């Protein structure tokens, strides 16, 4: 049988595969979102089941053709020498300045670009410029092969054996730098995954774990607070909440929950082995640690939860903007002077059912509750009679709650910075800042001197004097970087948050894509697929390719940096991919305040549910956002730290408060209830199952990826079939609410469970 081809384009990457055969499994039950309770420490988890044998009898057999491609960043840990190699004498200068730096931090920065940083770029660029009509034998001109290689396949570019802390794993890299990880057991393999992830994405790991906590400004400084603001609104957790999530996942999924915990434990052990070696000066670290003056700290399992939060809370959500419909209706009524005209405009703008929109499947599914709506104007007096659970707050009363605020601190006339930072002296004005990106001296002065802003002024002056003296001696005072070099430097340093902000939109619906062709329509008689999930462009990439083998794991593909499993890729005889779903799994709720006398926009006091008054849960934290090279280089902003305050107001049943308003003159709080809130870690289950080859046909694909709690479109191919499944914990809403308007959060209109598997949009071999 001629094997089919599956091509997956990830971020601008691609995977091509066709498959057959497989093992068997029984699907785990779908996860339901827990009602968050007061945090508790996790109990000692049960021991996971012993490593089971591989569910595929021939794990390295060639079941089909799989090709892929990734943009730059496969094995990236930084390096500046490639950016400034054409400047005479620079290497000696860097070496001189690094002596002091290494002594102070104990870290050895990487100054050389990794060999496989951009060696797939030529293939990728050629594909963009290729002419139509590519033939089968030309595919390898644009994609690289992605087989599951046996450990003795030979021709490895490098090989590393780790035998430490009770783990033993072989890491072998091919001629594109892709790590192939081989362990005698599952735990060994996961340790290797952690080690490889730290080796190839250490600084990005650090950024993501802080971003997932909503504390990116604590790490990267005051360049941009929007990411922290998003997390404070959508996924605000204390550290003990993340610990509680771990305990609940263990309890909810039995043996599989224990396995998730064990996998995360071994993964973090691998991360920390690399961190330990790096802190001991045995391994290089990304140059960003030097440039930004930040510390390298060990990882904990809660970091995995934080990164999962980043994915679920920001990338896998949908809905939750019902209050904006109210604001739009009220604004239209004010502008037109007519409720009837306002409603007509609103109905035209909202596109509740767009007959011309592109669809993944032409089948209809009863996903909305109620399934149909009467042609009713929400501004009419009939709303309360037909939808008693719907809420229209008073016009002009809504005030958004901003849980994150910040102000300058630490200079004369400014408040003292939190965390006892003290006053930080201002740096020289335009003499430093104006040349920061134009001259070699200022560039390296920033990297090697300005990163120590929390040191005293004498230390700063000592670094600056060393730099000036060395540049003067070498005659390079006026050496300038080329435009290309300056752009690269800014990508690595000042552009870090720019790349992250591109990710705040998740997988853009206009970019991620998947094209599948069933066997009936294929000239070869085998199904074909081209997958193209997109995660924005910045360096290094979020997605990291690896091939993992050990115990019952046998998979290859792309993992999201910071997660222990392949999230898009292939098993021995199947492949899968995803695009963002953006379907509605979030509702805006309105809760009544306990006392009519309470100020509408005030977070003290409590709220009413089921006739009882309950206090709000308030998270009140402060930290300092220290200036560094990722921050503004405006002369007035250089050296300026910011005091940050995060004040989150939460309800136990209906999520965090996003605003305050009045309804018929009485004060209310407006909250956002997300089905995946306090359950971000639950979505590890389908990736655990896919990694051990629980997927072996269309039905098992449905069973496994139904367990994905976030809103995604999942695509599947083997050598017989193609399939699609739309995942997410979609609530079944109570009678009496209007799905496009806020609803009361008082215990009378709570969700009635979640959409069953058979009601999710799905299709095979269309």
Residue 620 confidence (pLDDT) above 70: yes
Region 377-402: mean pLDDT is 95
Residue 758 CB contacts under 8 Å (≥ 6 apart), including other chains: none
pLDDT band at 364 (very low <50, low <70, confident <90, very high): confident
Lowest-confidence range among 286-290, 500-504, 535-539?
Answer: 500-504
Q: What percent of the chain has pLDDT over 90?
A: 54
Least confident of 93-107, 437-451, 499-513: 437-451
Which of 5-9, 394-398, 463-467, 678-682 comes out lowest in average pLDDT?
Answer: 463-467
3-state DSSP assignment of residue 381: coil
Q: What is the mean pLDDT of residues 306-316?
A: 84
Phi and psi, residue 407, nearest 5°: -150, 155
Mean pLDDT of 599-610: 81
Question: In the predicted model, is pLDDT for residue 387 greater than 90?
Answer: yes
**Is the separation of the CB atoms in 562 and 716 below 8 Å?**
no
In this prediction, residues 475-493 reach a mean pLDDT of: 43
Task: Tell me the pLDDT tens digit for each residue of 114-149.
Answer: 778 778 888 888 888 888 898 988 999 999 999 999
Q: Quick one: average pLDDT of 247-252? A: 95
What is the pLDDT, as a whole number, of residue 285?
A: 79
Determine the pLDDT at residue 277: 92
Average pLDDT (579-583) is 90
User: Which SS3 state, helix, strand or coil, does residue 9 take?
Assistant: strand
pLDDT at 555 over 80: yes
State yes or no: pLDDT of 407 exceeds 80.
yes
Expressed in percent and rounded to 5, the helix, strand and coil fractions of the chain are 30, 20, 50
Asked whether residue 240 carries a pLDDT value surpassing 90, the answer given is yes
Q: Which residue has the higher pLDDT, 98 or 741?
A: 741
pLDDT, mean of residues 265-290: 88
**Model confidence at 10, in pLDDT bands (50, 70, 90)?**
very low
22-62 per-position pLDDT tens digit? 333 333 333 333 333 333 444 444 555 454 444 456 788 77
The answer for residues whose C-beta is within 8 angstroms of residue 587's C-beta and 6 or more apart is 319, 320, 322, 672, 673, 731, 733, 742, 743
Residue 634 buriedness (CB in 10 A; 0-12 / 13-18 / 19+): exposed
For 311-332, what is the mean pLDDT?
90
Q: What is the pTM of this model?
A: 0.82
Higher pLDDT, 381 or 734: 734
Residue pair 763/609 in contact (Cβ under 8 Å)? The answer is no
């Amino acid at each position: 049988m001629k094997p089919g081809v599956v091509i997956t384009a990830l971020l601008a990457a691609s995977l091509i595969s066709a498959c057959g055969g497989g093992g068997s499994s029984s699907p785990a039950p779908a996860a339901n979102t827990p009602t968050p309770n007061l945090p508790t420490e996790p109990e000692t988890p049960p021991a996971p089941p012993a490593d089971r044998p591989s569910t595929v009898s021939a794990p390295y057999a060639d079941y089909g053709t799989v090709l892929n491609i990734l943009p730059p960043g496969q094995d990236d840990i930084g390096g500046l020498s490639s950016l400034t190699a054409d400047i005479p004498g620079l290497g000696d200068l860097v070496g001189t300045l690094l002596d002091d730096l290494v002594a102070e931090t104990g870290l050895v920065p990487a100054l050389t670009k990794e060999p496989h940083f951009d060696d797939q770029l030529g293939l990728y660029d050629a594909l963009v410029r290729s002419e139509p009509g590519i033939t089968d034998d030309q595919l390898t001109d644009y994609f690289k092969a992605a087989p599951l290689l046996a450990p003795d396949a030979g021709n490895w570019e490098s090989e590393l054996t780790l035998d430490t802390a009770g783990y033993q794993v072989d890491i072998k890299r091919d001629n594109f730098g892709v790590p192939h990880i081989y362990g005698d057991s599952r735990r060994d393999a996961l340790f290797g995954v952690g080690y490889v992830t730290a080796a190839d994405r250490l600084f990005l790991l650090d950024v993501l774990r802080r971003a997932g906590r909503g504390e990116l400004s604590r790490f990267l400084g005051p360049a941009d607070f929007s990411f922290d603001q998003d997390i404070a609104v959508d996924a605000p957790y204390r550290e003990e909440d993340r610990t509680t999530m771990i305990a609940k996942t263990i309890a909810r999924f039995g043996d599989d929950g224990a396995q998730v915990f064990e996998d995360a434990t071994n993964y973090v052990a691998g991360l920390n082995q690399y961190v330990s070696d790096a802190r001991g000066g045995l391994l290089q670290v990304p140059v960003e640690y030097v440039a930004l003056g930040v510390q390298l700290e060990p990882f904990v399992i809660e970091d995995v939860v934080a990164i999962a939060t980043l994915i679920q809370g920001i990338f896998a959500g949908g809905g939750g903007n019902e209050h904006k419909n109210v604001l739009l209706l009220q604004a239209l009524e004010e502008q037109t002077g007519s409720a009837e005209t306002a409603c007509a405009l609103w109905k035209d703008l909202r596109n509740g059912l767009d007959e011309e929109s592109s669809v993944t499947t032409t089948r209809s599914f009863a996903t909305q509750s109620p399934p149909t709506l009467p042609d009713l104007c929400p501004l009419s007096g009939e709303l309360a009679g037909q939808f008693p659970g719907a809420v229209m707050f008073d016009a002009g009363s809504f005030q958004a709650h901003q849980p994150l605020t910040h102000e300058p601190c630490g200079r004369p006339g400014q408040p003292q910075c939190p965390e006892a930072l003290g006053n930080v002296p201002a740096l020289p004005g335009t003499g430093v800042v104006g040349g920061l990106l134009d001259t070699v001296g200022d560039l390296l002065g920033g990297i090697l001197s300005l990163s120590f802003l929390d040191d005293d002024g004498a230390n700063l002056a000592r670094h600056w004097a060393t730099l000036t003296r060395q540049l003067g001696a070498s005659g390079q005072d006026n050496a300038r970087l080329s435009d290309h070099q300056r752009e690269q430097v800014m990508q690595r340093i000042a552009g870090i948050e720019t790349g992250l902000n591109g990710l705040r939109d998740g997988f853009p619906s206009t970019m991620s894509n998947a094209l599948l062709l069933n066997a009936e329509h294929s000239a070869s008689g085998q199904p074909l697929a081209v997958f193209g999930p997109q995660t924005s462009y910045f360096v290094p990439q979020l997605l990291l390719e690896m091939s993992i083998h050990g115990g019952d794991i046998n998979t290859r593909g792309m993992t999201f940096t910071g997660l222990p499993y392949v999230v898009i890729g292939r098993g021995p005889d199947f492949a899968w991919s995803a695009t963002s779903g953006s379907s509605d799994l979030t509702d805006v709720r309105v809760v009544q305040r306990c006392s009519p006398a309470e100020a509408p926009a005030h977070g003290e006091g409590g709220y009413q549910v089921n006739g009882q008054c309950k206090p709000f849960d308030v998270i009140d934290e402060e930290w300092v956002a220290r200036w560094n090279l990722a921050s503004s280089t405006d002369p007035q902003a250089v050296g300026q730290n910011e005091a940050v305050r995060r004040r989150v107001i939460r309800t136990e049943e209906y999520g965090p408060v996003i605003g305050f308003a009045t309804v018929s003159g009485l004060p209310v709080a407006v909250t956002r209830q997300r089905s995946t809130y306090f359950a971000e870690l639950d979505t590890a289950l389908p990736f655990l199952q896919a990694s051990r080859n629980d997927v072996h046909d269309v039905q098992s694909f449905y069973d496994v990826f139904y367990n994905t709690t976030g809103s995604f479109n999942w695509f599947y191919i083997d050598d017989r079939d193609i399939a699609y499944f739309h995942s997410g914990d979609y609530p079944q809403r109570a009678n009496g609410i209007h799905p496009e308007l806020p609803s009361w959060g008082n215990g009378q209109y709570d969700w009635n469970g979640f959409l069953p598997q058979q009601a999710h949009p799905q299709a095979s071999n269309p």
